[in-house]
Amino acid sequence: MRKEWGVVRDFQPLRRRGIQRLAREQWGTGRSVWEADLGDGRELVVDQVEVREGAAPESVARVLGLGAGERAWVRSRRFVLDGKPVLLSTSYLPASLVGGSAITQPDTGPGGIYARLAELGHRPVRFREEIRSRMPLPEEASKLSLPAGTPVMLVCRTAFAEEGRRPVEVNDMVLDAAAYVLEYDFDA
């Protein structure tokens, strides 16, 4: 049970399966990586999308290997589950790599960004995620409709192509900590 807006209601957290969701079998067959989190028939909906060409933050530009003045395509999305905003996601991709492709459109098509990168000859072969937590910034709390005192989890994922050496996407995610369980299941 979770109390929100003066009403007590059941809210089942999303189980974010960190390894399975990024497997090529997921996006390579036209499924969204987000579908891996939803085995229970619920639907994670994108209710806000902004796609634009612009500058990446300095830390992201450094990871992507962007030189001075090089631009990125920026894809910002808000995800909603059961009517509740649960995730803010902003992807940065080198403009020189994805310009003119479906990645620059609000709907990237089946399999999303990773399937489109594969079509461009830059199939992701390795991912790295860094996870932190903190209290939300005011804008994040507003966009996620967070009750006071609710922390967020920050997941920064980098996708690598070309034998795992070339970074092709940085995705900064802000997750409502009360809405997610992070699960990592892997062989020893």
Is beta strand 84-94 parallel, antiparallel or unpaired with respect to 166-176? antiparallel
Report the DSSP beta bridge partners of residue 180: 14
Structure token digits, residue 144: 């996620």
- pLDDT by residue for the chain (188 residues), tens only, comes to 445 555 444 657 776 666 555 555 555 555 555 555 555 667 788 999 999 999 999 999 999 999 999 999 999 999 998 889 999 999 999 999 999 999 999 999 988 999 999 999 999 999 999 999 999 999 999 999 999 999 999 999 999 998 889 999 999 999 999 988 888 777 77
Query: Please, what are the domains in the chain?
Result: 13-183 (3.40.1410.10)
For 149-180, the pLDDT digits (tens) are 999 999 999 999 988 899 999 999 999 999 88
Rounded distance between C-alpha atoms, residue 91 and residue 73, angstroms: 8
Are the CB atoms for 152 and 134 separated by under 8 Å?
yes
